[in-house]
Structure 1
Amino acid sequence: MFESYLNFDIEAALFLTLLWGTTAVLVARRPHHRSDRRGRRRATFLLVLVAIGMLLVAGRITTTLLMGSFGYLFVADRVAVALPLVILPALAVLVLSVPRWRAHRREPSAATRLATFAPQAVVPFQATALGALLGFVTAILVTMGPPQLVPILTVYTGYLTVVVLLWLWQAYRFRVASNGGPVRRSLPVRALRAVAVATAFVLVLVGGLSWAAGTTTLPGRINMADHAHGEAYSAAGPHGAHAGRSVSVAELTGPRAETPDRRYTLVAEAKKLRLASGKEVDAWLFNGQSPGPELRVKRGELIEVTVVNKVPDTNVSVHWHGVDVPNAEDGVAGVTQDAIKPGGTHVYRFRPDEVGTHWYHSHQQSSIQVKKGLFGPLIIEPEQTDLAPGTQDVIVAAHTWYDDKLPLEPPTLFGTIDQLERRRMAPGTPVRLRLINTDGATHRYSLTGTPFKVVAIDGNPVNEPTDVRGEQLVIGGGGRYDVEFTMPTQPVRLTELRRYGSELRVVEGGLLLSADGAGDVAPDKPQDAFDPTTYGSPAPTPFGRDSTFTKTHSLVFDNELWFYDGKFGVVWASNGKAFPEAPSITVREGDLVKVRFANRSHFDHPMHLHGHHVLVLSRNGKPATGSPLWLDTVNVEVGEIWEVAFKADNPGLWMDHCHNLDHAAAGMMSHVIYEGVTTPYEVGHDTPNELE
């Protein structure tokens, strides 16, 4: 519903701009009283436009109130800037301008017509049009984050300056008109003047856009630890082990001298991948398969993974999604390492302290490389298995393959299988489905034919899960859900659902389990979504809503049409800014940090903080009341507000970005940096390390 309100608000802002802009042009025409009838008709037309304009102003107030019902953060910019700049001048139109036009309508004459040309009659229309334009620009082109004093003063100063200049110019024009007006120029002279004005306008517009594009061009080299776009540490919190001294990311490694418990080799290479339907795609794969090899380990084991890059002309790296590794093992090119060049290798070593379903993927140009197939599952088991005897453990890695940058439908569920997959499953068999969303877009699933339990989310076990029926599972990009059930005698079908407005449609394909590998079942299309914040039973946590937080941070997400890295397109902004100006967080080891996410854009944003798990405190103002919800990827849907918290207990320089990787590549990424941490690596077009 919020997205509908947001669209209505943008439409209202557009119509406001068009209508008041048209009216401002009409009232600014030089007065010529030709006849009473024409004067009365013209005045009537202007008054009708004013009435429509007032209705549009009321419409934008209404859309703002509707959006505000989701939270003040969603309308802070409207309340502080957009609405005042249209409401106040519109009131001035009613008080100063309308009486003159009404007088001209009652008694049309040269005198009353001249009165409608006075500054107090014309400039309120122009000021309203300018305010409407600024409201539209800040709604869709260059959005404003949570309003701050400097941006507000900048907008108001510029607005008032233009209004004063318009007043002075109109006062001059009114004096000239009162004295009989200027000599009317010949047609060639007027045409030449019009061409000159149009040429100047085009030159200014093109020059301005070129300048704007140039200001967004990213530097050839960026050192994340310079943190010029972040905040200085100001909280009075505990000093960690690294406070007061400098430590390099390169020093924050996993164990190097010990003998690994498990060794793996991942070879990245370019391959032609044939899907089950017969379609072929140009893919980049680990060890020639999709997904990449399953890495299954025990918690606490020392893991050594050697990554070999055989992809021509492409550098790679590997990130361990959802695993709180030491910072140097995090696999982010340009932040924690240099990307692996073709023919090169890199060795990762870490000892996982978590359990559950995780995955690994490239973190060098990941918006491209993950799509092309550089990903695989990472399953971390507890020391003693948590699976019932005889459990069939099935990994379901949803992935959309692309051909010439166009998605092939539907997403595959198992590697190369892009059709309905049928599997034999004996009745009475315990089944665990590990659902991994390797895409950026949100996936919705229904499981038809049996109740089920959600036993883990993002790899973290759910306390006392209960049966789920008639609810869809919503998994954001990068997220994971583990579900368990006992196979019944009838078939069970896992199906993806896709939302089109308020309608849910079934995506062809999916997974069908049955005793003989045959049969079928019509997929359910549950309207209600599973709510992880109320599921399961509470359990003790090291901190919660009532804790004293060292730092608090708010992020408001927008999409805007503007330039990024010199190219015009959709920019994904946090607090009105895109990387590298997007707000980051500086912490000290031991800090307890609360973060609020508010999504007022048109798409979901699965926010992924590397190196840490966050505890969900609330969703849309409602406290989390179920099992403690520990996440590494928080899927903030359109119109939602989430409050989460984390303990700064893993020193380093950590990416914090949207895991819709296209969004990250277009600006929605920042980082959490521990005070005193530096990095010898750089990212940028002049380095081997590319941005998302």
Structure 2
Amino acid sequence: MLFESYLNYDIEVALFLTLLWGTSAVLVARKPRHRSDKRGRRRATFMLVLVALGWLGVAGRLVTTALMGSFDYLFVADRVAVALPLVILPAVAVLVLAVPRWLAHRRNPSAETRLATFAPQAVVPFQATALGALTGFVTAILVTMGPPQLVPILTIYVGFLTVLVGLWLWQQYRYRVAANGGPVRRSLPVRAVRGVAVVAVFALVLVGGLSWAANETVLPGRMNMTDHAHGGVSASGAHGHGGGRTVSVADLTGPRSETPDRKFTLVAEAQKLRLASGKEVDAWLFNGQSPGPELRVKKGELIEVTVHNKVPDTSVSVHWHGVDVPNAEDGVAGVTQDAIQPGGTHVYRFRPDEVGTHWYHSHQQSSIQVKKGLFGPLIIEPEQSDLAPGTQDLIVSAHTWYEDKLPLEPPALFGTIDQLERRKMAPGTPVRLRLINTDGATHRYSLTGTPFKVVAIDGNPVNEPTEVAGKQLVIGGGGRYDVEFAMPAQPVRLTELRRYGKELRVVEGGLLFSADGTGDVPPDKPQETFDPTTYGSPLPTEFGRDSKFTKTHSLVFDNELWFYDGKFTVVWASNGMAFPKAPSLTVREGDLVKVRFANRSHFDHPMHLHGHHVLVLSRNGKPATGSPLWLDTVNVEVGEIWEVAFKADNPGLWMDHCHNLDHAAAGMMSHVIYEGVTTPYEVGHDTPNELE
């Protein structure tokens, strides 16, 4: 929260600088007229006050940059390279070149000293500072820049200097005219026509520029995900690993000829869904229920899932979140398959090599379809059960339903139950709560009435978990926590918390256990958060912080107000770019890859890499010291930096995106692509496959 405050202050200061120096630039460019000594001194004093206030704003921008930079230099690299120099250097020129002339005019307010304040060296520094302040504001909130990159920096500086040269020449001409007595005064009609022409040209340039900018962001009707060669992504088949060998995504399937151990059928349908509160929503459901049917299997079993699509006018697909399936079974429309058309069927086959709490959901327009209910739990049990005898094993899949695009509160913890759910639980009963966040926003929980253990995170068991009490659990979009406790004699309550500024508030609803299903317990609002990077005991891992990495990749997350697919909206950018220009990563099989996430936007970003689990190396510069933290969804909160690593051991073309699916749909998605991998599928408005 502290970083977000600094970020907001920085943007506010950038706006203040733009308005203040812009006002100064307009005032100093007014034609010089000397009417009285008193008015001259007053005007000079006012301009000097504006300069002082302007420098106060410059100092404020330095302070906010330093405060943001105290988190990490990545958060301010573009400001140091562009925004600060473009306002500080011209502001120094104002002090050196313009202020002495205004001081002289204040001491001796004559026509000559007023004319001196109209010279180019007295006017252009103000204009340059205003232009620099505007550039700093634009790059802070409109079109943001990622880590300093040479081409964008040079483009900005060349454009800035070009405008300055034009301003200097124009002011030089105006100064000569003023020094020679001023121009011949035109008649009113001529001045009116000239003013209208100037306004018309400016409007045409502005509208034309914005139209061009909007058109530049329109996504192609058809895209192959191996063709947007940005951030190191090679064209399809280029530099193939293994003597130029290429392989199609369509051939990277699970076992096709073996007899499956478990067979499931999922039918996607559109239905009206009535919540426990009586509210009704238009939903899309698997097998007519929310969440969809629980798929519970054993590690190593061959699973076959047949998906039928009965949703009218809507195609679907199914992704197995957190399961490292073969690439063709990943269920991403336009990347690993064509979407399942209405009336169509698709069969998925895979043999999971992991255990724990996972989930499945649609990956065709998932920012819409998951919200509408196309999701369900996937539980992969070890060959020998890790549950104590008599354990009550409960899946708590938090989901926010929407009505007319507005969220309904509170979220439902059990499909349709959007009220406080009371359950009988005999004292002494072992309880496992499998918490699944099916929303995009971060969920915060408190468990009141008993200490508990976090026994698994993203399905991966925690080594030697210890008891936790008085801490909130923070679960990003798509993430999962498995929590265990022994039911005590008194009631136990699971409650969701929401943060409003620095205040934590209790969300209505939740889950209450008691011996007879009655009673109550006031929910806790713990300020301290559970830290998964220091929890549990270490174990040896195949690689770690000191390993030699063959690839490194850094992503800085921003939100900006700009165009995306031709519409003015909030764009979620990585390194200053949105899909399909966002930086993707090309790897070879066997590569050891380190990735750094830095979030300087206004929202959490749960980053989800398909087909792989990442090992957390550090969080905010502090090494991970607890049980090895293997994640499939890394929730990077505002102002945080995470370092993670993964081994490239599952060939394919893999989505790598924010699992706040609205963010992915507005630009925050890219890919990890193995060299030599091609795909026959395309995505875009002219294909059956839609973007997030």
Report the TM-score, using the length of structure 1 for normalisation: 0.99
Shift of 1:230: 3.8
Structure 1 SS opposite 2:129? helix
Aligned pairs for 1:127-526 (under 5 A) are 127-231=128-232, 244-526=244-526
- CA separation in 1, counterparts of 2:234 and 2:457? 33
- CA separation in 1, counterparts of 2:345 and 2:316? 10
Instruction: Check conservation: 1:264, 1:304, Cα contact below 8 A.
Output: yes
Q: Give unmatched runs, 5+ long, in structure 1.
A: none
Q: Which moved more, 1:219-228 or 1:643-652?
A: 219-228
- CA separation in 1, counterparts of 2:240 and 2:32? 74
Structure 2 SS opposite 1:400? coil
Shift of 1:197: 1.2
- CA separation in 2, counterparts of 1:206 and 1:592? 48
- CA separation in 1, counterparts of 2:203 and 2:108? 42
Structure 2 SS opposite 1:226? coil
Instruction: Check conservation: 2:226, 2:233, Cα contact below 8 A.
Output: no
- CA separation in 1, counterparts of 2:234 and 2:451? 49
- CA separation in 2, counterparts of 1:196 and 1:11? 34
Instruction: Check conservation: 1:243, 1:676, Cα contact below 8 A.
Output: no
Runs of 4+ in 1 over 4 A off after TM superposition: 239-243
Instruction: Check conservation: 1:82, 1:135, Cα contact below 8 A.
Output: yes
Shift of 1:184: 1.9
| Letter paired with 1:149 | L
Shift of 1:183: 1.3
- CA separation in 2, counterparts of 1:243 and 1:308? 40
Instruction: Check conservation: 2:241, 2:676, Cα contact below 8 A.
Output: no
| Letter paired with 1:78 | R
Shift of 1:48: 0.5
- CA separation in 2, counterparts of 1:191 and 1:322? 67
Instruction: Check conservation: 1:255, 1:349, Cα contact below 8 A.
Output: yes
Shift of 1:243: 5.7
In the alignment, which residue of structure 1 is the partner of 2:22?
21
| Letter paired with 2:546 | D
| Letter paired with 2:111 | A
- CA separation in 2, counterparts of 1:294 and 1:663? 28
Structure 2 SS opposite 1:586? strand
Change (3 A) 1:529 1:491: same
- CA separation in 1, counterparts of 2:214 and 2:157? 24
In the alignment, which residue of structure 2 is the partner of 1:672?
672
Change (3 A) 1:528 1:240: farther
Instruction: Check conservation: 2:455, 2:465, Cα contact below 8 A.
Output: yes
Change (3 A) 1:242 1:684: farther
In the alignment, which residue of structure 2 is the partner of 1:106?
107
| Letter paired with 1:659 | H
In the alignment, which residue of structure 2 is the partner of 1:685?
685
Q: Which moved more, 1:326-335 or 1:30-39?
A: 30-39
**1:451-480, Cα deviation, whole Å (9 max, x unpaired):** 000000000000000000110000000000
**1:180-231, Cα deviation, whole Å (9 max, x unpaired):** 1101223333232222211211111111111100000000000002242241
- CA separation in 1, counterparts of 2:408 and 2:337? 33
1:73 aligns with 2:69: no
1:122 aligns with 2:132: no
- CA separation in 2, counterparts of 1:653 and 1:309? 25
- CA separation in 1, counterparts of 2:152 and 2:214? 20
**1:23-70, Cα deviation, whole Å (9 max, x unpaired):** 000000110111111111101101001000000000000000000011
Structure 2 SS opposite 1:485? strand
- CA separation in 2, counterparts of 1:72 and 1:469? 35
- CA separation in 1, counterparts of 2:542 and 2:185? 81
- CA separation in 2, counterparts of 1:165 and 1:662? 43
Instruction: Check conservation: 2:358, 2:459, Cα contact below 8 A.
Output: yes
- CA separation in 2, counterparts of 1:615 and 1:384? 25
Structure 2 SS opposite 1:225? coil
**1:378-427, Cα deviation, whole Å (9 max, x unpaired):** 00000000000000000000000000100000111001000000000000
**1:156-193, Cα deviation, whole Å (9 max, x unpaired):** 01001111111111111111111111012233332322
- CA separation in 2, counterparts of 1:684 and 1:568? 19
- CA separation in 2, counterparts of 1:232 and 1:529? 38
Structure 2 SS opposite 1:223? coil
In the alignment, which residue of structure 1 is the partner of 2:93?
92
Structure 1 SS opposite 2:226? helix
Instruction: Check conservation: 2:234, 2:586, Cα contact below 8 A.
Output: yes
- CA separation in 2, counterparts of 1:631 and 1:344? 33
Instruction: Check conservation: 1:243, 1:588, Cα contact below 8 A.
Output: no
Shift of 1:233: 6.7
Shift of 1:292: 0.1
Structure 1 SS opposite 2:214? helix
Q: Which moved more, 1:165-174 or 1:116-125?
A: 165-174
In the alignment, which residue of structure 1 is the partner of 2:58?
57
In the alignment, which residue of structure 1 is the partner of 2:649?
649
- CA separation in 2, counterparts of 1:294 and 1:187? 79
Instruction: Check conservation: 2:299, 2:381, Cα contact below 8 A.
Output: yes
Structure 1 SS opposite 2:562? strand
Report the TM-score, using the length of structure 2 for normalisation: 0.99
| Letter paired with 1:204 | V
Shift of 1:547: 0.1
Change (3 A) 1:227 1:589: farther
| Letter paired with 1:416 | T
| Letter paired with 1:389 | P
**1:277-325, Cα deviation, whole Å (9 max, x unpaired):** 0000000000000000000000000000000000000000000000000
Instruction: Check conservation: 1:267, 1:286, Cα contact below 8 A.
Output: yes
**1:326-385, Cα deviation, whole Å (9 max, x unpaired):** 000000000000000000000000000000000000000000000000000000000000
Shift of 1:242: 5.0
| Letter paired with 1:680 | P
Q: Which moved more, 1:51-60 or 1:195-204?
A: 195-204
- CA separation in 1, counterparts of 2:508 and 2:502? 19
Shift of 1:240: 9.6
Shift of 1:241: 6.9
Taking only aligned residues, the RMSD between alpha carbons, in angstroms, comes to 1.1
Shift of 1:639: 0.2
| Letter paired with 1:200 | V
| Letter paired with 2:166 | L
- CA separation in 2, counterparts of 1:192 and 1:270? 61
Q: Percent identity?
A: 88
Q: Which moved more, 1:610-619 or 1:168-177?
A: 168-177
| Letter paired with 1:619 | R
- CA separation in 1, counterparts of 2:206 and 2:171? 24
- CA separation in 1, counterparts of 2:473 and 2:509? 17
